[in-house]
Amino acid sequence: MTIQKFIGLIAPSAILLGTFMAPAEAVSLKPIGTYNTGLFDVSAAEIPTYDPVSQRLFVVNAGAKTIDVIGISDPTNPSLLFNIDINTYFSGGNANSVAFKNGILAAAVEAPVTQDLGKALFFNADGGFLGDVTVGALPDMLTFTPNGNRLLVANEGEPNSDYTIDPEGSVSIIDLDFLNLSNSNVITAGFTQFNSQIDQLRDAGVRIFGPNATVAQDLEPEYITVSEDSTKAWVALQENNAIGVLDLINNEFTDIIPLGYKDHSLPGNGFDASDRDNAINIANWPVLGMYQPDGIDSYTVNGKTYIVTANEGDARDYDGFSEEVRLGNNSYQLDPNVFPNADELKLPENLGRLTVTNATGDLNSDGLFEEIYAFGARSFAIWEWDEAAGTLKRVYDSADDFEQIIAQRLPDFFNSNHVENSFDTRSDDKGPEPEDVKIAQIGDRFYAFIGLERVGGIMTYDVTDPVNPVFVNYVNNRDFTADSTTPAAGDLGAEGLLFISAADSPNGQPLLVVANEVSGTTTLFSIEAETETQSVPEPGAILGLMAISSMGMLKFKRKR
C-alpha cells in the first residue's frame, strides 16, 4: 500500500466538520442512454443541438467531418439515423458548432486554412441543404436569437502557427430570409472602432498582447449568449479575459469589459498547483487566476440579467509566439522584492510546475514578474448585468468547490487527465477545466450544469438566487477502472452541454445531453427531482477533528 497525503490550507480557527443542506427540490442526473461513435480522441462528439419535432440530436463529429444525426425518440436507446457530410457543401471544411431552431439546423464551418473566411451552412431536420453564407475566419460557435429571426456566429479569428497572419475577430449577424439567402444577409460586427483605444483597454485589464496585433486582430470571440428580448448579446473573449457587449439594434459592439482576476491567496480560493507532489494539496498561493471563460449562458431573475461563465482558461501557444511557461523555468524570474521566498515557490512541489503566462505580470518591463497569472479560475462564476451603467459585476464564484468536491468523491483520480486514468496530472494546468455551462429552469427554480473537460462529469448548482448558489451534486459517467481507450470507460472529455426541457423531451422528463470529445460519446441524462432533503458534504469541509499547526496547515493522511 502507498501513503497519500491530503493537505488543505485553512484558517487556524476554521470549523473542521461541516455539511450543508441541499434544497428540498434538488435534482439528480441519471445517465439513461449513450450513442458511441467508436472513435477515440479525435473530437468525434463536440457540440449537440436538438429538434423537438423530429426528436433528433445533431452532434458535431470533427473526427469524421460530419454532423451525426441521432434519433432519441427512445432516450434510453439513442441511435444514429444518418450523417451530414460537411465536405459535400464546403470542401475541406470542418464544423465547429451547431444550433437548431424552428426547423432550421445551422452549422459553423471553418475553412481548410483557418485564417480564411468560413461559412454558416443551413439544413432542414432531414439533412436537406438550404444554403450557406460566408462569415468570418474560424467560426467557432453560433446561436439563434431567442426570437428566431437571426443567427449569430462567433468568428474567433485565430492567427496561423507562425503568427504572421492574424485575422480580425468578429461576430456575423445573419438575417434568416431563406427565400433570398445570400451574403447580403450578413452583417459583420467587428472591433476596429476600438483600435485607437488599445492603451485604455490594456490599462482597464483587457489582455491585448498578440505580436503587432491591433485590438480588432487580438480579440477572439469564443462564445455568445443573447438577451431574452434579442436586442443584446454578450460575447466571451476568452484569451483576452473579457466580455464584449454587442448591440443587436445597431449591430455593433459597444463595450469591452475586462473580467478581472481571482485572488488565489484568499481563504476559500485555494487550488492544487503541482502534479509532482504525489498529493492532493488544495492550498492558497500568491497567484491571480484569469477567468477566461469558454462556455457562457445567461438568465433573468427579478428583472435582472445574469451572465454565467465556465472559467476554463486558455493560452496562446503558437510556433511564432507562446505565452505559456512553467513558473519554475529559468526564463520566468520573480521579483525578489515582491517574492522574497521565490526559490521556495519555484520548487516543483509548490508552484514550479504551474503553467503561467509570461505576457502579463511584469509590471515595469524589467524582466522580473511582480504578479503571477495562471490560466482559468477552476470555477464557474455569475455576473450581474447593469443595463443603465453597462457594466458587469461578479456576484458569485464557486471558489475552490470543484477541486474540493473531486477530492472527496474521486480521491484516487483527483485532477485526472481525460485521455488516461491518472492522479493529479492536471493540477499544474487548469485543474478540472470547466468547459461549458447551461442554465435550466425547472419548475420555479434555476439550475446551472457545468461540464468538466478533464476529470469529466457534471457539477449541478441551484442558482435560483444568483448571489447564493447551492451545490446540488456531482455526477461523473466515467469508469476509472476500465481502459480509457475502450467503450467501457464511459464518457471522457465533456465538451458541449444541451438542456432539453420537459415540454420538448421525448419522454416528458427534462434531459441533459453531454457530448464528450475524447470518448466520442453522446450521453443523455434524465434530470430527476429529489423529493427529500439530503445532507451533503460541504465543499472544502474536511471530515474529522485534527490538530492545526500555528501556520494553519491541516494534514490528513489516507491509506490506499
Would the pLDDT of 148 be above 90?
A: yes
pLDDT digits (tens, 9 = 90+) for 532-558: 444 444 443 332 322 222 223 333 333
Residue 456 gets the label, from left (phi > 0), alpha (psi -120 to 50) or beta, of left
Would the pLDDT of 102 be above 90?
A: yes
pLDDT higher at 204 or 535: 204
Arithmetic mean of pLDDT over the chain: 91
What is the pLDDT at residue 2? Answer: 31
| Strand, coil or helix: 528 | strand
Handedness of CA 92, 79, 523, 509 (dihedral sign): positive
Which triple of cell numbers denotes residue 436? 461549458
What is the pLDDT at residue 529? Answer: 87
Would the pLDDT of 359 be above 50?
A: yes
Q: Domain 29-314+376-559: which CATH class?
A: mainly beta
Q: By C-alpha distance, which of 214, 203, 51, 47 is closest to 139?
A: 47
Whole-angstrom Cα distance, residue 62 to residue 416?
A: 24
Q: Where are the domains of the chain?
A: 29-314+376-559
- What value, to the nearest 5°, has the Cα angle with vertex 499 and ends 477 and 68? 75
Q: By C-alpha distance, which of 31, 29, 28 is closest to 522?
A: 31
The type of residue at 505 is S
pLDDT digits (tens, 9 = 90+) for 360-393: 999 999 999 999 999 999 999 999 999 999 999 9
Would the pLDDT of 334 be above 90?
A: yes
pLDDT digits (tens, 9 = 90+) for 462-473: 999 999 999 999
Would the pLDDT of 16 be above 80?
A: no
Whole-angstrom Cα distance, residue 108 to residue 276?
A: 40
What is the pLDDT at residue 519? Answer: 98
Would the pLDDT of 149 be above 90?
A: yes
Q: Looking up cell 454565467, which residue turns up? A: 308
What is the pLDDT at residue 533? Answer: 44
Would the pLDDT of 559 be above 80?
A: no
The answer to whether 238 and 221 are in contact (CB under 8 A) is no
Whole-angstrom Cα distance, residue 49 to residue 500?
A: 9
**Chain-centre distance for alpha carbon 45:** 16
pLDDT digits (tens, 9 = 90+) for 45-88: 999 999 999 999 999 999 999 999 999 999 999 999 999 999 99
pLDDT digits (tens, 9 = 90+) for 170-185: 999 999 998 899 999 9
Whole-angstrom Cα distance, residue 512 to residue 50?
A: 11
**Chain-centre distance for alpha carbon 85:** 27
What is the pLDDT at residue 247? Answer: 98
Would the pLDDT of 157 be above 60?
A: yes
Whole-angstrom Cα distance, residue 113 to residue 381?
A: 35
Q: By C-alpha distance, which of 374, 370, 383, 220 is closest to 290?
A: 374
**Beta pairing partners, 129:** 123
Q: By C-alpha distance, which of 496, 454, 468 is closest to 272?
A: 454
pLDDT digits (tens, 9 = 90+) for 258-287: 999 999 999 999 999 999 999 999 999 999
**DSSP-derived secondary structure for 125-172:** TT--EEEEEEEEESEEEEEE-TTSSEEEEEE-----TTSS--PPPEEE
Which triple of cell numbers denotes residue 121? 451552412
Which triple of cell numbers denotes residue 355? 503553467
The answer to whether 314 and 239 are in contact (CB under 8 A) is yes
pLDDT digits (tens, 9 = 90+) for 305-321: 999 999 999 999 999 99
Radius of gyration of the chain (CA): 23
Provide φ and ψ at 469, rounded to 5°: -60, 155
